[in-house]
């Protein structure tokens, strides 16, 4: 079976989003503190300004990258599981991939609605979205480890861009 992999751009964007999402999680507690300070009318410190700027622009970057990734995925479809999955495995892998797009775009949208438009409901949704995203990350990471360490199939080669053994 020929392994069809992601393009170099698709792979790089995946890892950029991973890094940005990690930064978002690292900034969530300082962001909450900064927002509480802002909402109480406290003066904005340089650290609060830096935290809110990094978090909001990081979220905007994730949203923009995910839109671009959707475009790339439309232009260059890649079968989940390197084309080697069938049945429920294929359906669940596909669902997790598409849920990542939905949840990451949802997080960017609710962040914008809360921060820039001061819509309090969006903050609640953003908080719930964080837990859904963490669940997806856990499932995705465990599946990657399963393919790498147990199945030893072409799934990780597809993501890394390496050629299958002959």
- Tracing tokens 């962001």 back to the chain, one arrives at 31
pLDDT-derived band at 54, boundaries 50, 70, 90: very high
Would you put residue 106 in left (φ > 0), alpha (ψ -120 to 50) or beta?
A: alpha
| Burial bucket for residue 94 (CB in 10 Å: 0-12, 13-18, 19+) | middle
- Tracing tokens 């609060």 back to the chain, one arrives at 48
**What is the distance between the alpha carbons of residues 59 and 17, in angstroms, rounded to a whole number?**
10
Instruction: Give the pTM.
Output: 0.85
In this predicted structure, what is the pLDDT of residue 82?
65
Q: Which of 35-39, 113-117, 125-129, 131-135 has the lowest mean pLDDT?
A: 35-39
pLDDT-derived band at 165, boundaries 50, 70, 90: very low
- Kindly list the structural domains of the chain, giving each domain's residue range(s) and its CATH number in brackets, ordered by start: 8-160 (1.20.950)
pLDDT-derived band at 1, boundaries 50, 70, 90: very low
DSSP, collapsed to helix, strand or coil, labels residue 77 as coil
Average pLDDT, the chain: 88
- Tracing tokens 């909001």 back to the chain, one arrives at 56
> Could you give phi then psi for residue 85, rounded to 5 degrees?
-95, 150
pLDDT-derived band at 39, boundaries 50, 70, 90: confident
pLDDT-derived band at 158, boundaries 50, 70, 90: confident
**What is the distance between the alpha carbons of residues 73 and 126, in angstroms, rounded to a whole number?**
26
Buried b (16+ CB within 10 A) or exposed e, 11-33: eebeeebeebbebbeebeebbee
pLDDT-derived band at 149, boundaries 50, 70, 90: confident
Length of the chain equals: 166
Flag whether pLDDT at 88 surpasses 50.
Answer: yes
């Amino acid at each position: 079976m020929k392994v069809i992999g992601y393009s170099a751009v698709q792979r790089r964007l995946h890892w950029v989003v991973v890094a940005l999402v990690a930064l978002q999680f690292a900034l969530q507690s300082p962001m909450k503190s900064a927002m509480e300070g802002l909402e109480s009318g406290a003066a904005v410190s340089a650290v609060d300004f830096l935290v809110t700027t990094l978090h909001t622009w990081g979220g905007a970057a994730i949203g923009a990258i995910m839109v671009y990734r959707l475009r790339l995925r439309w232009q260059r479809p890649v079968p989940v599981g390197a084309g080697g999955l069938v049945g429920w495995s294929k359906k669940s892998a596909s669902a997790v991939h598409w849920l990542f797009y939905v949840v990451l775009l949802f997080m960017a949208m609710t962040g914008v609605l809360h921060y820039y438009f001061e819509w309090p409901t969006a903050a609640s949704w953003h908080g719930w979205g964080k837990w859904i995203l963490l669940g997806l990350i856990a499932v995705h990471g465990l599946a990657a480890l399963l393919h790498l360490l147990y199945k030893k199939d072409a799934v990780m080669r597809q993501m890394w861009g390496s050629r299958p053994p002959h």
